[in-house]
Structure 1
Amino acid sequence: MKRRTLLAGVGAVALGGSLWRRAVMSDTGGGSFSYGPLGEADELGIRLPEGFSARLIARSTVEVPGTGHVWHGAPDGGACFAHGDGWIYVSNAELDDGKGGASAVRFDADGTILDAYPILSGTDRNCAGGATPWRTWLSCEEVEHGAVFETDPYGGVAAVKRPAMGRFRHEAAAADFDRFVIYLTEDEPDGCFYRFVPDSWGDLSSGVLQVLGGPNGATVWIDVPDPAAAETPTRHQVAGAGHYDGGEGCHYAGGVCYFTTKGDNRVWAFDAEASTLSVLYGAGAPLFGVDNLTGTPGGDLFVAEDGGDMEICVIAPGGTVTPFLQVTGQDLSELCGVAFNPAGDRLYFSSQRGPSDDNDDGRTYEVTGPFRFDPV
C-alpha cells in the first residue's frame, strides 16, 4: 500500500448547518471517525472493517442468478430505489458503439435477488447519473454531445432523452429538492459545473441550463445560450464560466452539492444556501483518483477511487478521511456506482473492469454491515 500523508495546503471548507466544521485531515488508523482498520482480503479479494461482509451480486456477460438477464459490461454509476419491502439497484454501462445503457436488479426485504432487467439500451458510454425525488434514474452519456436519459428503475416506462439538460460530455447529476434544480458535472479537462432549472419540478422536458460563473469560488449562475451546442460547446459559450478539471461524481445533501474532479483529485462543496464554492479535499492521500460518491444522513461521504489503491474512502463530518474498503487483485480497474439501499445497511458498488482489466469482466458487489447513519 502507498504511504498515506495529507499534502499541506489543502483547502478546508466551513459550510452551513452542522457539516464540515473542521479542516479535512487524514486518519488511517482506527480513529474516532473511522470504521476501523481493514482486515485481510476475503474470498472476493475485498478488505473490510470488522463486522462487514461482501457478496458478488452480478458479473459482466454472466446471467444474474435466477433472472435470465445477462449483466452488462463496464458497470459504472448507480443508485438505489425503494420497491415495496425491498429495493432496486440501478447500474450504468459505460460501453461505446451503441452498447451502453443501464440495467436494474430487484431485491426483496432480506436482500434476495428477485429479478434483473434492462431499463436503457442503444446509448453510448453511460458513465454516472443521478436519482430524482420522483424515483427516476438520470443516465448520462460521457461522449461529445452526450445526452441525459431519464429512465424508469421499475422497468415499466420507456427511457426518454432530455435534450434541454444540455448536450455535452455528461458525467453525474444530483437533484436539489430544496431549490428545485438538477446539478450536472462535465468530464472535460476544462469542464463546467451546471444546473438545470426545469420549468416545472418533476418534468425535465423543458427548462433553463445554467453554468456556474468563474473564476472558481464565484457564485453566479449564468444561462447557457445554446444547450444543444450546435456550433459551440456549452463549456465555451459563457465568458467567465468556472472550469473544473474532469468533473466526476455529484451528490446533494443538506443544502450542499458535493462533486469530484479527477484531474486535480479534488472534492468540491457548493453550498447552495450560502452560495459559496470551496475545496473540501484535494490533491493528496488517502484519496487518489476521486470518482463517484454518495452520502449518508449522518453526513459521511463515501468516495470511490478510479485507480489509486482501489479503495472507497469515507470523509466524515468531523473531517477525518479513512479507507472503508479496498479491492485487491484488480489494480487496473476502477471503483464506481456507490449507493446505499433505503435502509442504509447495504452498500453497492462496482469494479468496472474486474481482475482482467476488461469491460466484460466487470463485477458488482454488495457490502452489508453496521453503517453509521447518525452524525458523529
Structure 2
Amino acid sequence: MDRRRFLARAAVAAAAGIAGPFAGVACAGDKGGAVRVQGYGPLRPVRDKRDGEVRLHLPDGFAYRSFNEAGSAFPDGSTVPGRHDGMAAFAGPRDTAYLVRNHEVGGPVGAFGDKDKAYDPMAGGGTVTLQVTRRGEVLKAAPSLNGTMLNCSGGPMPWKAWVSCEETVNGPDVGDDHSGGDNSKLTRRHGYIFEVPVTGAATARPIRSAGRFAHESAAFDPGSGALYLTEDCFSFPSGFYRYLPPEHPLKAGRLLDGGKLQMLAVKGSPREDLSAGQRHGASYATAWVDIDEPDPRFTGRPSNDEAVQAVGRQGRAKGAAIFSRLEGAIHHQGTVYFVSTQGGATAPGDTAPSGFGKGRGQVWAYETWSGRLRLVYESPRSTVLDLPDNVTASPRGTLVLCEDGDGDNFLRGLTRHGELFDFCRMEPVAGDPGAEFAGSTFGPGGHTLYVNVQSTHGMSFAIWGPWQRGAF
C-alpha cells in the first residue's frame, strides 16, 4: 500500500463520514464521526486484455479492455478525436451496449467526421456513438454530433437520447478564451446543449432556451420533466440550473426548445455561498429564480470572462446560490446528485487549488419532490477525495466518483451507507500528467462499468468482475 492510499484510509476512518443512506433523504457530511471503509480489496496492476499493457490498477478478480483510442480510424476513414469525456450506456441488441461519448476538444481546429454535417465546421468537439460488447469489443463506431466545442459531460435521457453539453461560450461574437484559440475563425455561437439520439445522427440544433453558459452535465427528472444543469466556471462562481421545456419530453419524445431556464437559490438567504466549507448536517430549503435572457446576444465582442458570466450574473442578481465548479450530475430515484469539484474548505496542510473554490470537493443532493438541498459529502483533504468530477450511480445506488486531482487519480465509490473506497487507480499516462477519469457509466444489467481516460491520447475502457462482492 503506497503512502497516498494509507493516508486516505486513515483520514477517512478518522475524519469523514455520512450518516444514513442516500435513498429517500440524502445525508450530510459528518467530519467528526468514524466510518467503516469497505471496498473490493487492495488495488493491483492489471494488464489490458487488448494489448497486455498496464493502464489500470484494480481489485483481484477484475479485468478490463481498452478500446476506441484517440487517433484510431472510424470505418469511414475519419479519425477518432481525443479528450474522451462524458458518456452514457444504453441497451443494444443481443446483449450489447450503445455508448454515446463526448469529446472535449476546444479551439478552431476543424470538425472531425463529415464537415458538411457539422454545426460549426471549424469546431473540433462533439460526440461519437459506439456499439460494444460487455468486454469492450467494438462492433460499430461513428461520429454522431460534430462541429460543437468543448463537449464536457451531459446526461442520458429515458427516450433513448444523450444530451451533450458545451462547456464554453466561445463564438465569433466573444473574445478569445484562455486557451489561445482565435474565436474569429468560428462560424457559430457556442455554449449550448444538444440532443443526440442513441441510433442515428443528431440534428445539430442547439436548445437555446436552456442557456448559453459553460454547461457541464444534465440530469433529467422523469416526474416533472425538468432537466437539471450544472455549470463549470473555472475562475468564477457557478450555478445550479433547471430547464423547464414547453412540453414534457416523455410526451414529446424529445427535448423541445422554447422553455424556461431557472437558477437555484436558498430561501431566506440571497446569494448563499455554498462553495465554502459546510457545517455538519448542512441542509437548505430552496427556491428557483427565472433567467430573463438565457441566450444573450453580445455586441462589441466582450471578453470571454465577461461573456461566460452573463447568464449566471442574472440569477445571482435575483439571489441565486453560489457554488464552485459544478461538474458531474446524475438523477437516481428522485434525487439529483451533483458534484462541486472545488467546493469546501482548504484542509490544514493542503494546497488550495487554483480557480474559484478552495476545497477538494463536495457532493450535493437535490430532492426533486421536496426542493430540499443537502450536503452528501465534503472532502476533508486531498488524500481522501481529490477534486471529484463526473459521477454516476451503480445499480445498487453507490455513487462512482471520477477524480481530477493533482496526483494519482482514482475511481472512488461512495456507498449509500457513507463509505468511501478506492475501486480503480489510473496508471500515469506518459506525456500527459493532466490525464483524468471521465464518463463512468454502467452498461445494461450492471455487468460492465464503462469509463474513459481523458487525455490527448484518450481511450475508453470496459471493466468487469465480481460486482456482487462489494457495493457496486
TM-score (norm 1): 0.89
Please say if residues 245 and 257 of structure 2, whose CA atoms lie closer than 8 Å, have aligned partners that are also in contact: yes
Q: In structure 1, what is the equivalent of residue 350 of structure 2?
A: none
Given candidates 132, 157, 160, the residue that maps to 2:157 is 132
Change (3 A) 1:299 1:167: same
Given candidates 250, 265, 280, the residue that maps to 2:329 is 250
Q: Quote the Cα distance in structure 1 between the aligned partners of 2:470 and 2:13.
A: 29
Q: Quote the Cα distance in structure 1 between the aligned partners of 2:321 and 2:16.
A: 19
Q: In structure 2, what is the equivalent of residue 48 of structure 1?
A: 58
The residue type equivalent to 1:210 in the other structure is Q
Q: In structure 2, what is the equivalent of residue 356 of structure 1?
A: none
Q: Quote the Cα distance in structure 2 between the aligned partners of 1:244 and 1:70.
A: 37
2:332 is the alignment partner of 1:237: no
CA RMSD of aligned residues (A): 2.8
Q: In structure 2, what is the equivalent of residue 305 of structure 1?
A: 403
The residue type equivalent to 2:402 in the other structure is A
- Comparing 274-283 with 364-373, greater Cα deviation is found at 364-373
2:461 is the alignment partner of 1:365: yes
Given candidates 362, 366, 375, the residue that maps to 1:266 is 362
Q: Quote the Cα distance in structure 2 between the aligned partners of 1:316 and 1:221.
A: 30
Change (3 A) 1:242 1:12: farther
Q: In structure 2, what is the equivalent of residue 82 of structure 1?
A: 91
CA shift for structure 1 position 199: 1.4
Q: Quote the Cα distance in structure 2 between the aligned partners of 1:186 and 1:93.
A: 17
2:145 is the alignment partner of 1:120: yes
1:229-263 CA-partner distances (Å, limit 9, x unpaired): 33671111122101110110000101111111112
Please say if residues 17 and 419 of structure 2, whose CA atoms lie closer than 8 Å, have aligned partners that are also in contact: no
SS in structure 1 at match of 2:444: coil
Q: In structure 2, what is the equivalent of residue 169 of structure 1?
A: 214
Given candidates 243, 249, 259, the residue that maps to 1:207 is 259
After TM superposition, list the pairs within 5 Å mapping 1:179-218 onto structure 2: 179-188=224-233, 189-202=236-249, 203-214=255-266, 215=272, 216=274, 217-218=284-285
Change (3 A) 1:182 1:76: same
2:367 is the alignment partner of 1:320: no
The residue type equivalent to 2:91 in the other structure is A
Q: Quote the Cα distance in structure 1 between the aligned partners of 2:428 and 2:61.
A: 22
Change (3 A) 1:19 1:37: farther
- Comparing 363-372 with 308-317, greater Cα deviation is found at 363-372
Alignment length (residue pairs): 367
SS in structure 2 at match of 1:119: strand
Please say if residues 145 and 201 of structure 2, whose CA atoms lie closer than 8 Å, have aligned partners that are also in contact: no
Q: In structure 2, what is the equivalent of residue 37 of structure 1?
A: 42
5+ residue gaps, structure 1, are 354-358
CA shift for structure 1 position 286: 2.2
Q: Quote the Cα distance in structure 2 between the aligned partners of 1:101 and 1:50.
A: 36
Change (3 A) 1:74 1:17: closer
Q: In structure 2, what is the equivalent of residue 151 of structure 1?
A: 196
SS in structure 2 at match of 1:237: helix
The residue type equivalent to 2:88 in the other structure is A
CA shift for structure 1 position 109: 6.8
Please say if residues 247 and 260 of structure 1, whose CA atoms lie closer than 8 Å, have aligned partners that are also in contact: yes
SS in structure 2 at match of 1:213: strand
Q: Quote the Cα distance in structure 1 between the aligned partners of 2:166 and 2:261.
A: 17
Q: In structure 1, what is the equivalent of residue 389 of structure 2?
A: 291
Please say if residues 13 and 279 of structure 1, whose CA atoms lie closer than 8 Å, have aligned partners that are also in contact: no
Q: Quote the Cα distance in structure 2 between the aligned partners of 1:175 and 1:7.
A: 34
CA shift for structure 1 position 16: 7.2
CA shift for structure 1 position 332: 2.6
Q: In structure 2, what is the equivalent of residue 339 of structure 1?
A: 441
SS in structure 2 at match of 1:199: coil
1:141-182 CA-partner distances (Å, limit 9, x unpaired): 011261001112212453321111111000000111122111
- Between structure 1 and structure 2, the one with the greater Rg is 2
Q: Quote the Cα distance in structure 2 between the aligned partners of 1:117 and 1:104.
A: 6
1:340-362 CA-partner distances (Å, limit 9, x unpaired): 11121111111111xxxxx2x11
The residue type equivalent to 1:213 in the other structure is A
The residue type equivalent to 2:340 in the other structure is T
Instruction: Give aligned-pair identity as a percent.
Output: 31
